[in-house]
Amino acid sequence: MKKVIVFLFLLGSFTQLFSQENQDSVMNNMKNDFDSYSKKSIQDFNDFRDKANADFAEYMRKGWVNFVAAKGVESPIAPEPSKPELFPVDKNHQEVKLPLDTIKNNVEIVPPKISFTVPPVLIKPKLPTVPTAVSDLPIIDSVEFYGTYLSIPWDKNGMHIQILSANENELSSVWNAMSKAHYQSTLGNIKHNADILGLNDWGYYLLIKQISEKLYDDAHRNERIATQFFLLSQLGYRARVGSGDDSFVLLLPFKEPVYNKSYLILNEIKYYIFNYSNKGTKSSYSTFNQDFSLADKTASLIITHPLQLGIQTDSICLSKWDNVIGKNVKLPIRPMNVAFTLNYPQFGLEYFHECAVDKTLSETIIRSVKERINGMDEFHAVSYILNLIQNGFEYKTDQEMFGRQKPLFIEESFFYGTNNCKDRVLVFSWLMKNVMRLPTVMFIYDGLNGKAGHVACGVSFNSDVNGDYYNYGDRKFVMCDPTYINAPIGQTMPKYKDTKAKIVDLSEIKSMSFR
């Protein structure tokens, strides 16, 4: 009996061992098969990309077509008034009856007398360095990008180009040469840096532009444009090159309409002109009529993730904001984020509302506002925030601040401490979204020549609130004007009381919440 038991035990052990060895063998075979399949897939894709590059290089040798450049579309927002309008709060003031069910609110908010000081000048901090992705290629060292030093792997033998004349044969030749070089490590490094810095599509373009300008001096502008075109296309962005007066220009389309920027219409799409010419934009350019076959992304100007540029500082304090809040609030601002948006392409106001805000700045502002409205009901909390935006910033026109039209991103309003009606609507609606969780719309009023002369905000309350309002969808949006100084909820500027407003829904925007 014992012999039988021992035999069965040995048989079981042997069977188990054989089974384990068999499983290991099967797993090893599967791994080898997967590795083989993976290598083949990568090789197939590389072969596919090589053919696409070769075909595109040959395509660009063909005759280019001449296109007339169109003047940039003017912004629909007219220059703002030189001064904000004040709501009369004297006891003898007779309320003007407005056409939209106007009832005087029973709460009158009179802010304290406050003063304004210019924000401090920030000292440029020591620049951080982003680690370089591993590569065997030579390095382009010390590429400075908005407060950060970058090191970029670059195949100097294969990707260094020389352009003798801005024509189709030259562009085809340099594309063909660069596509045979080791450019994948460069693309991987650009993606790596973009992820760390939180760059959007526009940021990708600026980073590539900076790399090209590190490689080629101002005497080699055509080489810069060709390099930008190649890298953007290999990253999947739609782009083209135009030629005029023996100079190349980069042609980029965007998802959003861009104002005050000349463009060519190619395949019924606006391709905006980016050049280095001191003479400005020409009247026409020749170009090819097809994008690179592997480039299927149209760039967007919306900042989808908070930028992480340069060093954050706690040295910004706004006296007007602090006086309304009732305490000193040190605002953690990244000055290089502001530098990034200083010369940003101008696009529709509604898209500014979709742009992400720096997380630390958001948390600081939202926390300080929540502390002040703690215990208030919804109406009084919104009244407080409205008064805060009306009186927390100095009013200045775009012309006074920049010498041109420029809507401000939220970070810019707090960095400069100055803004006007369109910027205040952005800050107010952002706080409604992130503090009060209330739906908002933007009211756009036409001024002279069909342009918008003023923008204000509408809020949909959870309870019935008296005052001027518009019905939009199935909701009632009550007037809240951040630039009608000291005006309570429900009050419209008298000059716009008979003017129909265009309504832009801001309530469904998701990326306004800080991350």
Mean pLDDT of 11-20: 54
Tokens 């019924």 map to which residue? 268
Each residue's pLDDT tens digit, 110-162: 332 222 222 333 333 344 555 555 456 788 878 999 999 999 999 998 899 99
Tell me the chain's radius of gyration from C-alpha atoms: 30
pLDDT at 94 over 60: no
Q: How far apart are CA 80 and CA 424, in angstroms?
A: 12
Tokens 């919104």 map to which residue? 382
pLDDT at 509 over 60: no
Each residue's pLDDT tens digit, 223-252: 999 999 999 999 999 999 999 989 999 999
**pLDDT bracket for residue 46 (50, 70, 90):** confident
Q: Tell me, what's the pLDDT at 279?
A: 73
pLDDT at 83 over 80: yes
Q: Over the range 223-238, which residues count as b (16 or more CB within 10 Å of their CB) and which as e?
A: bbbbbbbbbbbbbebb
Q: Tell me, what's the pLDDT at 394?
A: 96
Tokens 């742009």 map to which residue? 355
Residue 313 pairs in a beta bridge with 333
| Residue with the larger pLDDT of the pair 281 and 418 | 418
Q: How far apart are CA 43 and CA 429, in angstroms?
A: 51
Which amino acid makes up residue 161?
A: I
Each residue's pLDDT tens digit, 302-328: 999 999 999 988 778 999 999 999 999
Q: How buried is residue 121: exposed, middle or buried, by Cβ count under 10 Å (0-12/13-18/19+)?
A: exposed
Q: Tell me, what's the pLDDT at 185?
A: 94
Q: Provide the percentage of residues in the chain whose pLDDT is more than 70.
A: 79
Q: Tell me, what's the pLDDT at 75?
A: 87
pLDDT at 301 over 60: yes
Mean pLDDT of 177-198: 96
Contact 333, 313 (CB under 8 A): yes
Contact 330, 314 (CB under 8 A): yes
| Residue with the larger pLDDT of the pair 363 and 18 | 363
Q: How far apart are CA 59 and CA 65, in angstroms?
A: 13
Contact 231, 190 (CB under 8 A): yes
Domains of the chain: 65-72+127-287 (no CATH), 95-124+311-505 (3.10.620)
**pLDDT bracket for residue 355 (50, 70, 90):** very high
Residue 68 pairs in a beta bridge with 284
Q: Tell me, what's the pLDDT at 123?
A: 34
pLDDT at 6 over 60: no
Q: Tell me, what's the pLDDT at 507?
A: 72
Contact 316, 331 (CB under 8 A): yes
Q: Tell me, what's the pLDDT at 47?
A: 80
End-to-end CA distance of the chain: 72
Each residue's pLDDT tens digit, 357-378: 999 999 999 999 999 999 999 9
Residue 395 pairs in a beta bridge with 419
Average pLDDT in the chain: 84
Q: Tell me, what's the pLDDT at 25?
A: 67
Q: Tell me, what's the pLDDT at 209?
A: 98
Mean pLDDT of 189-217: 97
On the CB side of 357, how many CA atoms lie within 13 Å of its CA? 30
pLDDT at 62 over 70: yes
**pLDDT bracket for residue 56 (50, 70, 90):** very high
**pLDDT bracket for residue 15 (50, 70, 90):** low
Which of 18-22, 94-98, 447-451 is predicted most confidently?
A: 447-451
Each residue's pLDDT tens digit, 445-495: 987 666 768 999 999 999 999 999 999 999 999 999 999 999 999 999 998
The token pair that represents 498 in the structure block: 């008979």
Q: Tell me, what's the pLDDT at 511?
A: 35
Least confident of 256-260, 278-282, 391-395, 489-493: 278-282
**pLDDT bracket for residue 265 (50, 70, 90):** very high
